Structure 1
Amino acid sequence: MKKILSVLAALTLTASLLAGCSGKAASTPAETAGQAESASAAESTMESAAETETVSQQETTVAETEGSQPAEASGEETAVRVMALKGPTAMGMVQLMDTAEAGPVGGNAYEFTIAASADEVTPRLVQGDADIAAVPANLASVLYNNTEGKIQVLAVNTLGVLYIVESGDTVQTAADLKGKTIYASGKGSTPEYALNYILSSNGIDPEKDVTIEWKSEHSECVAALSSGEGGIAMLPQPFVTTAQAKNDSIRIALDLTKEWDALQAGVETPSALITGVVVVRTDFAAENPEAVSAFLDSYKESVDFVNGSTEDAAALIEKYDIVPAAVAVKALPYCNITFIEGTEMKEKLSGYLNVLFGQNPKAVGGKLPADDFYYSR
């Protein structure tokens, strides 16, 4: 029970970037930027800094069986309970979700649940009520450390979704941020670490050379952005698209994923700015290796479909009440939905976690995860 309580304390970081892409702006959902504090963050619980206006805590269950119990496997089928967040992680799964409505896929009888925030996912994963889940990258490391290896990462599913936007035309490169005021949410979490890394690597002292005004919600950043000339903010997708729909003067100045990649050029084992990953309970993976492999194959097909058929994918994204199709069509090219597993996953993710660890060990659960954190099939 003590260990469970310790793990549940990690909920305070659960609005990491991936969750950071879910939320509500007026009547349009967009994901929240998430907290990257570890279980020790229970000492001072932070309200999700990237949380947008009120987010419905509804869960949408797809292909669920009668009642609230997971689907019973029939014959050789394996019941697999999957959770994703209302944003890019769920967007990448929609084709698989749609196919699963007709019955088992690759021998797996799926039950999908879309959650509004990661604090809905974490307890169900830890308590064994979910088998596979899409979570913020740093949260995966925190859970691994606090459950003593009972969580493994299967694949990277979302790269960076953070963007520097402005209502003017003054920022063309990261160096142009020097001397500017930047509105942002996510202090003490992944957004802050990513921004600090980009700034410091471009010779800008985050403490002295820029003014970063931290807000509790994306909506506050947009309001501040619109209130003054030359306003600059850091926002995640698809919230950027939602903000642009309300204010056509807002433009994307910098893609922080591309800025990160540029800094990694020439590095022997380059890392990447990573928002989300897919994890599995270690026990479930050990007991059902074929089911896990089948899931990975089906999930990769779904990601390829979403990235290759934007309009069809957007229709499914609206079907599952993630974001409206009109928003999805414009946001998908900027959401960096991907599928990376195996050696490449380990190289990119371990490098990313190392950057976070260098800024704040709590962001990854106090220590870097061991090799068994990275699932290999």
Structure 2
Amino acid sequence: MVFASRRDALTGLAATGLAAVIPRSPAMAGEKLASVVINGMPATPSVVMARLIETGALARFADKAQLKVWRTPDQMRAGVVSGEMAVFGTPSYSCANMRNRGVPVRLMNIVTWGLLYLMSRDEAVQKIEDIAGKTVLMAFRNDAPDLIFRMTLRKLGMNPDTDVKLQYVGTPTEAVQLLLAGRASLAVISEPAATAAQIRGAAAGVTVRRTADLTAVYGRLTGRPPRIAQAGLGMREDFLQANPELVRAIHQGCIESARWVLDNPAEAGKLGAATLDLAAPVVERSIPHFRLDVVAAADAKPDLQHYFTALMEMSPDILGGRLPDDAFYWGPAA
């Protein structure tokens, strides 16, 4: 399988000096920024960012704090390379790939430790091994969901290119629509779309089962805890250098906001509904399924390197040919 994609073209711009540079921040002179934008991912972890903005924890650093949610990984990568996105939700491997290809980024933290599930309408599929010879819907080709699914199948001794038929779609929402319409019986779906599939299915009289937790399956096969350092926040280097205290505040705010989300799922569901354009009960019920635990990248480094090494065993190009350097892993003491 060839893993080269639009990410290579996008990140290649940085090496040629075409990436726009964020203007030097007024915070360097002790002044507040006019605004700070966190560009969240289209998944349940963005509820943490929404809570961070709601608390006003960044008010002493910026007059205005905003959360915007990107739609696709390609949109996120393009925004980071151009300089438009300075703080961004990202699959951890994608941030590492960008750095290895010359984009000046670092990983701030990990927020979710696994949120992918095999959802099924097929009664014959009771465990992941039962999917041999079947068609599976998958969003975001060559990105984290696809890579983690392939990584897991390889550990099972299956060839993801020949033992199953992967049918790629644009987004998790599209996968849910096709699954509920009966045009597919199996799909790998991230949260909160996985929970949405179950809730919407129940309303339509369709049973959608959470057949396999890919994170738990991978942990079982590797003898590790059910945790994959899947996604968190990244940042551009120029933003970090201009605003080190703001970065620390964002990270600490994520820790505190994550506690609130876990302790207040109903309120978090309402907060996340507008952010993710989903019904509040969907967001609320998805919260237990995305392994929320905010850990600084420096502290998560052993888990990240294990995950990155497993990805590189499939293809070194996934990480841009090597593990990222030590400076990639930000920590609050840095």
Instruction: Using structure 2 for the length normalisation, give the TM-score.
Output: 0.79
SS in structure 1 of the partner of residue 141 of structure 2: coil
Choose the corresponding residue for 1:185, options 135, 139, 147.
Answer: 139
Choose the corresponding residue for 1:242, options 196, 212, 220.
Answer: 196
Aligned CA distance change for structure 1 residues 183 and 285 (closer, same or farther; 3 Å): closer
Mapped pair 1:281 → 2:236: yes
Mapped pair 1:255 → 2:243: no
Mapped pair 1:212 → 2:160: no
Mapped pair 1:131 → 2:131: no
* Distance across 2 between alignment mates of 1:265 and 1:331: 26
Give the aligned length. 310
1:189-248 residue CA offsets vs partner (Å, 9 max, x unmatched): 33232122212212223344333333445435653565379x222122211222223322
Q: Which amino acid aligns with 2:264?
A: S
Q: Which amino acid aligns with 2:147?
A: Y
- Specify the alignment match of 1:155 in structure 2: 109
* Distance across 1 between alignment mates of 2:176 and 2:283: 21
- Specify the alignment match of 2:127 in structure 1: 173
1:10-69 residue CA offsets vs partner (Å, 9 max, x unmatched): xxxxxxxxxxxxxxxxxxxxxxxxx98463357xxxxxxxxxxxxxxxxxxxxxxxxxx9
Aligned 1:19-30 pairs, distance under 5 A: none
Identity across matched positions, percent: 23
Mapped pair 1:164 → 2:118: yes
Aligned CA distance change for structure 1 residues 203 and 222 (closer, same or farther; 3 Å): farther
- Unpaired runs of 5+ residues, structure 1, are 1-34, 43-68
* Distance across 1 between alignment mates of 2:25 and 2:281: 33
Counterpart contact for 1:187–1:214, Cα < 8 Å: yes
Q: Which amino acid aligns with 2:135?
A: T
Aligned CA distance change for structure 1 residues 109 and 271 (closer, same or farther; 3 Å): farther
- Specify the alignment match of 1:84 in structure 2: 40
What is the root-mean-square deviation in Å for CA atoms of aligned residues?
3.3
Mapped pair 1:347 → 2:305: no
SS in structure 1 of the partner of residue 160 of structure 2: coil
Aligned CA distance change for structure 1 residues 207 and 85 (closer, same or farther; 3 Å): closer
- Specify the alignment match of 1:66 in structure 2: none
Instruction: Using structure 1 for the length normalisation, give the TM-score.
Output: 0.71
Counterpart contact for 2:40–2:67, Cα < 8 Å: yes
Moved more, 354-363 or 193-202: 354-363
- Specify the alignment match of 2:52 in structure 1: 96
SS in structure 2 of the partner of residue 254 of structure 1: strand
SS in structure 2 of the partner of residue 214 of structure 1: strand
How big is the shift at 1:374?
0.8
Counterpart contact for 1:85–1:135, Cα < 8 Å: yes
Aligned CA distance change for structure 1 residues 104 and 274 (closer, same or farther; 3 Å): same
* Distance across 1 between alignment mates of 2:226 and 2:243: 30
Choose the corresponding residue for 1:301, options 247, 256, 260.
Answer: 256
Counterpart contact for 1:183–1:221, Cα < 8 Å: no
- Specify the alignment match of 1:368 in structure 2: 323
* Distance across 1 between alignment mates of 2:183 and 2:75: 37
Greater share of residues in helix: 2
- Specify the alignment match of 1:40 in structure 2: 8
Counterpart contact for 2:119–2:208, Cα < 8 Å: yes
Counterpart contact for 1:131–1:280, Cα < 8 Å: yes
* Distance across 2 between alignment mates of 1:244 and 1:238: 10
* Distance across 2 between alignment mates of 1:348 and 1:258: 15
